[in-house]
Amino acid sequence: METLMSVLPLEPPDSHGFEPAGCDCRPAGLAPSRRSLLRGAALAGATTMFGSAAVTMGPTLAAADAPRRTPSSTVVVLSLRGAADGLSLVVPHGDPTYYKARPGIGIQPGALVATDGFFGMHPAMAPLVPLWNAGRLAAIHATGLPVPNRSHFAAMEALEDADPGSSKRTGWLNRLVGNDPATARASSNLQALAVGAGIPTSMIGPEPIMAFRDLDTASLAGGDRKSDPRGLRMKAMRTQWTRDRSALGSGFREALDAVVDLDPARAQRARKNLYPDDDLGDALSSVARTLRADVGVSAVTVDSGDWDMHVGLGAAGAGWMQGNAGKLASAIAAFFTDLGPVGDRVTLVTISEFGRRVQENANGGLDHGWGNVMLAAGAGVKGGRYYGTWPGLTNSLDADLTVTTDYRSVLAEIVAARTTASTAAVFPGFQRERVGFMLGQ
């Protein structure tokens, strides 16, 4: 077993070698800082590392022999870290200011896919058109934080905490897990799952979280069948902690159970040929296998980094956005294909800390902005439509897309439609507005 500090990743340099003055544009979302993970571990109670997996345990721990109840729905949150440009992902081709502000990177209407009279998706998003046409994909534009915040780290923390002004410091997904009567915590050691470089703020809190980078390596170090075919290491660990009645002892027993509970997921066939060959494809493949195994997961987070496009964003057919949007669309499409019938109870939503400026900069990129777009796909989505209130664009160097829909209204509508949790408990003090993209809402 490794110590927490020894397995935390160093923050890598910006992969495109560009960092504007005054910009906190270190690798937004590629890996959380040591400080944020250590703080999260402390808030959660404890963090136990098993190989490449981590389990955070709160002070109240589920009984090992509690009955398992399969969640009727699963919410998957896909974070586009680095502040994706929503005006490139979903282009407002009906707003002439868009083309005036982006003479070099604007995408012409004829190149867009899934178009209506005003909006259309980036051409690289073509893999999502079947989901769109089937009514299983929707887009909600001009979404975001209620007030601008252009710091990657502060904005993402505020977004994922979703309880401004509170000193409790718990994330909204952790509150969702703890407040949904239909999927009581005792139903599974794996109810909340974080796939990526670390545990995001949305998952921090008293409820236990399972986290790993890759399903196949999420195991007790040295305890896999190849290294330990008789399971002696796992037996020794259980013996060591069986008589320890402390919270830490209970936590280790729960963590051991969680690692074992992943066995049915690891036994599921990987269909990586469906996915793009990158970190996001690998992550969603792991999630699909886990959900197909029916091991009790009801909330998932997945990170997709490298969206901080200050330079070289590119127009249709070329550039940084072309590559990222294509991989994103291909990965989401593959995910729902991979899920098969299980997809009927899975709702995926994308989120990013903020959007980009309306006007392109001198480097063919975009600086930090405000409003953005969110995509929702899967169970309960009234798709094939664009939602939200369009505020109109302003062409000036510091112009933003104004937020007209608080991102919490989007998330709360999914919570209300797909879970039995109280939106008031998940988003304290927030009065949601109807967006209308979910059935029954």
Domains of the chain in sequence order: 67-218+262-426 (3.40.720)
Task: Give the model's pLDDT for residue 167.
Answer: 87
Residue 59 has pLDDT above 80, yes or no: no
- pLDDT-derived band at 219 (thresholds 50, 70, 90) equals low
Task: Give the model's pLDDT for residue 8.
Answer: 29
CA–CA separation, 427 vs 381, rounded Å? 21
- Single-letter residue type at 68: R
Can you give the pTM of this predicted structure?
A: 0.87
Separation of CA 131 from chain center = 19
Residue 61 has pLDDT above 50, yes or no: no
Report which of 408, 210, 425 is spatially closest to residue 299, judged by C-alpha positions: 210
Specify the range with the lowest mean pLDDT, choosing from 121-130, 134-143, 231-240: 231-240
Contact 188, 26 (CB under 8 A): no
Residue 356 has pLDDT above 60, yes or no: yes
Task: Give the model's pLDDT for residue 6.
Answer: 24
Tokens of 245: 């009645």
Task: Give the model's pLDDT for residue 287.
Answer: 98
Residue 54 has pLDDT above 70, yes or no: no
Quick one: average pLDDT of 157-176?
Answer: 94
- Encode pLDDT of 36-50 as tens digits: 333 333 333 445 555
CA–CA separation, 235 vs 293, rounded Å? 24
- Encode pLDDT of 67-108 as tens digits: 455 678 999 999 999 999 999 999 999 999 999 999 999 999
- Encode pLDDT of 232-258 as tens digits: 766 776 666 677 777 666 666 666 667
Task: Give the model's pLDDT for residue 65.
Answer: 42
> Which run of H or E residues covers position 96?
helix 96-101
Task: Give the model's pLDDT for residue 229.
Answer: 75
Quick one: average pLDDT of 358-385?
Answer: 98
